[in-house]
Amino acid sequence: MLTIAHLSDLHFGRLQAGVVQRLSGDLQQVAPDLTVISGDLTQHGRRREFCAARHFINGLPGAWLSVPGNHDLPRINLLERFTEPFARYRRLIGPDLCPVWRHDEAVVVGVNTARSFGPHWNWAHGRISRGQVRHVAEVMASASPHQTRIVVAHHPFVAPEIRPDLRLVGGRKAATEQFARCGVDVILSGHFHVGYAAPVTHEAAPDGHVLLAIQASTATSSRVRGDGNAYNLLTFDGPRIDLQIRRWRDGRFEPGPMRRIR
C-alpha cells in the first residue's frame, strides 16, 4: 500500500491565516509515503515566498515531489522572466523541473507545464511539449506492470463539470493519447483551485484503460474559488485507488469520507 498527499497551489505570499501550521501538523499525523505539490508554490515568484515554501517543505514527513506552476515565474522582472524563468525555483525548491520518484508500488513523474510567455495575452496558460511527453513515456517504459503510473503537472487536463469552458493545458490531446498507451493511471494537477476527479477522454484506449485526472483545491491560499482550502489524500493498493479530501474547517483539516475512485 502507498499513500500520497496531493497538495496544490500553496501560494506563499497570499496565505489563509493559520492554515500552513495546521497543514504541517496534519501531514505529520497522516505521514504519507510521498507529498506531491502540483505547482504555484508562491504568489509572485519572489525570493521570500520561495524561502517560506522551502521552510514548509523542510518540515514535511518523508519524501516529496514538486513541479512549478505559472505563479512560480518572476512576475514583475520581465528580463528575469525571459532569461532565467525558473532560476529561483531551481535554487530554492529543487534543481529538477521534471522530477521522478520511484517506489515498489508506483512511479511518479513530474512535468513542468508553466511557460514564461505564449502566443496569447494570458501567460498563465500552460503547455506540455512533445519532448516532455516522450520523457514520461521513457520513464514509464521502465515501470513494472504492478506499479501505479502517476504524472504530476500544474495545469489541468480535464475541466470541472460546473465550468467546462475553462482552458486546459495545451498539447493535451497528444499527451493523453501517449499517456494512455504507456499505461499512465493518474494525472495529479491544480491551477483552478477546485478539487475533483474525472476520467480523461482520449482516442487511444488499448484495453479500455482509464486515465484519471485528479485535481486538488488550493491547500493554503486565500485565493479560494468557492471550494475552500483542502488537499487530497490518495491510497493506492494494487489496482484500487481511494481518495479522501481533507478540508480546512473550523481551524483544522477535517478528513472527508474515503471514496473508491478505481
Order the strands of the 186-189 sheet from edge to edge: 100-103, 106-111, 148-153, 186-189, 212-215, 196-199
HSE value, Cβ hemisphere, 13 Å, CA-based, for 137: 15
Burial label, 29 (beta-carbon count in 10 A; 0-12, 13-18, 19+)? exposed
Q: Which stretch binds Fe ion (CB under 5 A): 7-15, 18-26, 76-84, 250-258?
A: 7-15
Closest separation between CB of residue 262 and Fe ion, Å? 26
Nearer to Fe ion, 14 or 54 (CB): 14
Structural contact between residues 28 and 20, judged by C-beta atoms closer than 8 angstroms: no
Total residues contacting Fe ion by CB under 5 A comes to: 5
Q: Is 125 in the site for Fe ion (CB under 5 A)?
A: no
**Residue choice 5, 6, 9, 49 for contact with Fe ion (CB under 5 A):** 9
**Residue choice 40, 49, 72, 185 for contact with Fe ion (CB under 5 A):** 40
Q: Which stretch binds Fe ion (CB under 5 A): 49-57, 63-71, 139-147, 195-203?
A: 63-71
Q: Which stretch binds Fe ion (CB under 5 A): 34-42, 48-56, 91-99, 200-208?
A: 34-42
Nearer to Fe ion, 208 or 226 (CB): 226
- Buried b or exposed e, range 100-128, using 16+ CB within 10 angstroms: ebebeebbbbbbbbbbbeeeeeeebbbbb
CA distance 216 to 234: 11
**Residue choice 69, 74, 170, 183 for contact with Fe ion (CB under 5 A):** 69
**Residue choice 3, 35, 70, 147 for contact with Fe ion (CB under 5 A):** 70
Closest separation between CB of residue 223 and Fe ion, Å? 7
Nearer to Fe ion, 69 or 85 (CB): 69
Closest separation between CB of residue 40 and Fe ion, Å? 4
Parallel, antiparallel, or unpaired: how do β-strands 240-249 and 259-260 relate? Answer: antiparallel
Residues facing 3 on adjacent strands? 235
Q: Is 16 in the site for Fe ion (CB under 5 A)?
A: no
Closest separation between CB of residue 212 and Fe ion, Å? 21
In the region spanning residues 173 to 202, those forming contacts with Fe ion, defined by CB under 5 A, are: 191
Q: Is 227 in the site for Fe ion (CB under 5 A)?
A: no
Contacts of 65 (CB under 8 A, 6+ apart): 34, 35, 36, 37, 99, 101, 108, 110, 152
Q: Is 49 in the site for Fe ion (CB under 5 A)?
A: no
Nearer to Fe ion, 106 or 151 (CB): 151
The residues of the shown chain that bind Fe ion, judged by CB under 5 A, are 9, 40, 69-70, 191
